[in-house]
Amino acid sequence: MRRASVALIAALAMSTLIPSSGSATSSSMVTAPSIAPIAKGMTVLATPARWSSTAKSTYKWLLSGKAISGATKTTYVFTTKQRSKSLQFIETATFPDGTSLQGKSNIVTLGQVFVAGELTIDFKDDQHKALKVSSGAMVPTSAKVTYQWFNGIFDIPGAHSATYILTSSDAETEISVQASYTAKGFTTLKKNSNSILIPKTVYNYSLIWSDEFNASATNTVDPKIWVPQNSDGTAFDNQGWGNGERQWYTETQSQIDSSGVLTINAARSGANVFSCYYGTPCEWISSKFVTKGQVGFKYGRIESSIKGPVGQGTWAAFWLLGADIDKHWWPVCGEIDVTELMGGRPTTNYGTLHGIRSGGLGRGGTVEMPNGFSSEFHTYAIDWLPDHITWYLDGVAYKTVEKTDDDWVFDHEFYLIVNLAMGGNFPGAVDSSVTSATTAFDYIRVYSINGVGEVIKH
């Protein structure tokens, strides 16, 4: 007959103390009797109770609630036919005064993996950034354990280790874990842990870089920060800028006014002096500036105050690209769109990530702006941290994307981009009634978040 071992606690209950005679007794039970399987074989071992005074004890075992004939010792050897049945140990103590008390042990289910004690979780460190599992000894010792972490009643995809790294979306929710214990020849045991309410993270922001676009003698962008990308994209092996756009970029279509606002102007007039990739004189001229090779950024809050364009086919953006783009082409380098504002959708703000998996579709969200984005300045921002990116409109968060798979390519240096595109696959063709368009940037500011955030100057 194939041998198997036992059992797990199906319900761990403290022993019940029951007087066994009609007389009152001054004696009491100090510790309850308990039972546990032995690591090998099919033997269950009972640890008798401790009593407050000397007593003579007798024992019996209950199988599925019924006394087992002849089972009067502190060990019990079960058979394979008794698998899946409950087992309990009963101890009756008789004291010198003739009174007696009875104690009941915990209950085990025969044939299941046994795990001593409770499954518990707690914070791994004082920073409250991770949770860890604590579990008792297993019988058999060869049993394997797997984990599934939960946020409330929902399982957390991919969270299967004994440690769980908390994310921003876990704040103010209850986290728990379920462990599954398996061994050959045994019934699987599942145990649920306690739940922990995750506190809300408080963010402290500290300004580490900014461009306020203060007017200079030339009323142009600071060349120590910004580089124009003049072309229809062909000069960068990316004709139409990868989107079928219709403009030629030239820095002459931008200026900084006396109030400290950078304005980019797109126009039909003057565009025909340039020849575009689509085989005719260009239809539009506009401006695009990047901090590539000048200033880079890694993590932190990145925000800008922007007034968007008007008209079908207009497309303003404040965004970032991976600084390794010359080595790892898009989307492997990563793209973070802080905001995209299209005149044909004058009340919708887009915030998007583009990575290896998401590609052109991206991952992110939108938020509606009842009064639109073209009549006044609004603040567009991201909180970019190692495990997530959250988008904000006027200080209100509207979308978070967590680091969950290899689409996350946002752990290295990125550079900033400001531009006003015309036409292309995303906004659609420019309406014939549109003869010019503008977008304006009041400032760009970068903050560290609880000390996380870096400015890289080249």
DSSP string, 325-362: TTTS-TTTT-EEEEEEEETTSTTEEEEEEE-TTTTTT-
Topology of 8-109 in CATH?
A: Immunoglobulin-like (2.60.40)
**Residue 166 in tokens:** 């908390």
Across the chain, which distance is largest between two alpha carbons, in Å?
Answer: 115
CATH topology of domain 114-197: Immunoglobulin-like (2.60.40)
Query: Comparing C-alpha atoms, which of 371, 369, 251 is closest to residue 380?
Result: 369
Q: Which residues of the chain have pLDDT under 70?
A: 1-25
- Spot the catalytic one: 91, 245, 335, 376: 335
Q: Is 340 a catalytic residue?
A: yes
User: Taking Cα atoms as reference points, which of 250, 233, 281, 280 lies closest to residue 424?
Assistant: 233
Q: What is the DSSP-derived secondary structure letter of residue 411?
A: S
State the Cα–Cα distance between residues 9 and 112, nearest whole angstrom.
8
Residue type at 335 in one-letter notation: E
Q: Which among 245, 340, 376, 413 is annotated as catalytic?
A: 340
E strand map for 116-204? 120-123, 130-134, 138-139, 144-151, 154-155, 163-165, 174-182, 189-192, 196-197
* CB neighbour list of residue 319: distance below 8 Å, 6 or more residues apart: 335, 336, 337, 338, 339, 340, 416, 417
Tokens encoding 147? 């984990």
Q: Measuring CA to CA, which residue among 231, 437, 239 is closest to residue 344?
A: 437
Which residue ranges make up each domain of the chain? 8-109, 114-197, 205-457
Task: Please tell me the total number of residues recorded for the chain in this structure.
Answer: 458
Q: In this structure, are residues 122 and 49 in contact, taking their beta carbons and an 8 Å threshold?
A: no
Asked, colleague to colleague, whether 8-109 and 205-457 share their fold, the answer is: no
Alpha-carbon distance of 408 to 388, in angstroms, equals: 9
Give the position of tokens 């207009």: 314
Q: How many CB atoms lie within 10 A of CB 218?
A: 10
Question: In whole angstroms, what is the distance from residue 294 CA to residue 417 CA?
Answer: 12
DSSP 3-state of 236: helix
Report d(CA 30, CA 415) in Å as an integer: 69
Parallel, antiparallel, or unpaired: how do β-strands 17-19 and 43-47 relate? unpaired
Helices (runs of H) and strands (runs of E) counted in the chain: 0, 40
| 124-162: pLDDT as tens digits | 988 788 999 999 889 988 899 999 999 999 999 999 999
b/e burial code for range 309-343 (CB count within 10 A of at least 16 → b): bbbbbbbbbbbbbbbebeeeeebebbbbbbbbbbb
Residues 6+ apart with CB under 8 A from 394: 378, 379
Q: Helix/strand/coil (H, E, C) string of 4-43?
A: CCCCEEEECCCCCEEECCCCCCCCCEEECCEEEECCCCCE
Write down the pLDDT at residue 2: 32
Tokens 């009549």 belong to: 375
DSSP 8-class letter at 119: -
Q: Which amino acid is at 339?
A: T
> How far from 24 is each of 29, 58, 59, 106, 159, CA to CA, in Å?
14, 20, 22, 26, 55
Task: Summarize the chain as % helix, strand, coil (round to 5).
Answer: 5, 45, 50
- 181 token code pair: 């214990």
* pLDDT tens digits for range 152-204: 999 999 999 999 999 888 989 999 999 999 998 888 999 999 999 999 888 99
DSSP state of 168: G
CATH class of 205-457: mainly beta
Residue 391 near residue 379, CB atoms below 8 Å: no
